[in-house]
Homo-oligomer: A and B are copies of this chain.
Amino acid sequence: MVKPFGELVYSPENAPEEVKGKAETHAPKIEAPEKVKAGEAFKVTVKVGPHPSTPEHSIRWVELYYYEEGRAFNPVFVGRAFFAPGYMEPEVTFTMKVQKPGVLYALAYCNLHGLWESRKEIKVE
């Protein structure tokens, strides 16, 4: 049976048994405040690894999406960073701002070990 795309995205908690061993080094780690002020800039760091950075095996990119509470259609695609193998480590810091609370999703892609996600709730005061 052909699966929907969503079932192909691994996360630490629902990765199939046979790929779970890669969660620690592939699931992105999100660093962001628990609570932010509406419209005020805050830093978001996404880190993956430790992981090799070679043409044959690297974290090619990370993407950020935001599920915004109360929005009719979600998620919002908010950013992407590409890392050239050999010259970049898989870590990036963005400067973000939101008007409403929601959930921030990070995706990381390894050319050998697939697509991994993690998520973090953002409260707005």
Q: Which residues of A, 1-44, contact B by the 8 Å Cβ criterion?
A: 2-9, 11, 14, 18-19, 22, 41
Considering only CB atoms, which chain B residue lies closest to A75 in the complex?
B8
User: By the criterion CB–CB under 8 Å, are A22 and B73 in contact?
Assistant: yes
Q: Enumerate chain B residues within 8 angstroms of A5, measured Cβ to Cβ.
A: 6, 9, 11, 65, 75, 105, 107, 117, 119
User: By the criterion CB–CB under 8 Å, are A112 and B60 in contact?
Assistant: no
- From B73, B93, B109, B115, A113 is in contact (CB under 8 Å) with B73
User: By the criterion CB–CB under 8 Å, are A114 and B4 in contact?
Assistant: no
User: By the criterion CB–CB under 8 Å, are B89 and A92 in contact?
Assistant: no
8 contacts between A and B (CB under 8 A): A5-B105, A6-B7, A60-B77, A77-B111, A80-B81, A87-B97, A87-B98, A88-B96
